[in-house]
Chains A and B, each alone.
Chain A
Amino acid sequence: AQSVTQLGSHVSVSEGALVLLRCNYSSSVPPYLFWYVQYPNQGLQLLLKYTTGATLVKGINGFEAEFKKSETSFHLTKPSAHMSDAAEYFCAVSRNQGAQKLVFGQGTRLTINP
């Protein structure tokens, strides 16, 4: 079985500061990992995904994430937060590149302080 734990249901950072959203996973097979973002009153939008190959993955809006197998982690980072980054972020794990067995974390709400 696969599972995802997002550490911190709420994260608050100042505009221009580093954003770090933590995600740890559990998987009995090599995982495929995803980060999705949900803006208010909208559906989820794919930020980035890790399938195979390079462990540092770059996504949209300046976000990136690093797959660390030894730590079973896939933390999301952005060097400098922008007010428009305020949203809810979901980490997800799957057994394949698609979505048939996609398991989501509980989400982390990111607040940006001016």
Chain B
Amino acid sequence: EAGVTQSPTHLIKTRGQQATLRCSPISGHTSVYWYQQALGLGLQFLLWYDEGEERNRGNFPPRFSGRQFPNYSSELNVNALELEDSALYLCASSLVRARSSYNSPLHFGNGTRLTVT
């Protein structure tokens, strides 16, 4: 089974530009999560999408946004980039079954390393 795939693996942008990061979940997974892993700050939850809807959002400014497409893939957009946005952005997927409390643990992609200069 193919794992979570993220593209690009590396992205270099200048301050003020916009970045778009992409994620394809494991086949059959309906939920996509985005995390930021900045140096010294650990893993910070950014966004959770399920069935095309934004379900939860971490403590990040509105210039961090995203969406989930009908095929459950997802896109993270970061507008007006700042130097401190430089980080590894990890996408993860899981299976959520709406009618029960069961859901699978997170499966992570290898991340997109965003560098803002």
- Which residues in chain A, 85-108, are within 8 Å of chain B measured between CB atoms? 90, 96-107
Give B contacts to A, CB under 8 Å: 4, 31, 33, 42-43, 45, 48, 55-56, 90, 92, 94, 96, 101-111
Residues 47-76 of chain A, each 1 if its beta carbon lies under 8 Å from chain B, else 0: 001000000000000000000000000000
Cβ contact within 8 Å between A44 and B31? no
Write the nearest CB–CB distance from B97 to chain A, whole angstroms. 9
12 cross-chain CB contacts under 8 A: A41-B110, A42-B110, A43-B108, A43-B111, A44-B108, A49-B105, A98-B103, A99-B92, A99-B103, A100-B31, A100-B103, A102-B45
Cβ contact within 8 Å between B94 and A104? no
Q: Is A27 an interface residue (CB 8 A)?
A: no
Chain A interface, number of residues (Cβ within 8 angstroms): 22
Once bound together, how far apart are the Cα atoms of A34 and B108, in whole Å?
Answer: 14
CB-contact partner of B110 in A36, A43, A90, A101, under 8 A? A43
Write the nearest CB–CB distance from B103 to chain A, whole angstroms. 3
Give A contacts to B, CB under 8 Å: 34, 36, 41-46, 49, 90, 96-107
CB-contact partner of A43 in B4, B45, B94, B105, under 8 A? B4
Write the nearest CB–CB distance from B7 to chain A, whole angstroms. 13
Cβ contact within 8 Å between A46 and B43? no
Give the secondary structure class of B's interface. strand
Cβ contact within 8 Å between B109 and A43? yes
Do A99 and B110 form a contact, CB below 8 Å, given A46-B105, A90-B43? no
Cβ contact within 8 Å between A98 and B110? no
Cβ contact within 8 Å between A96 and B45? no
Cβ contact within 8 Å between B42 and A105? yes
Q: Which of A45, A99, A100 has the most CB of B within 10 A?
A: A99
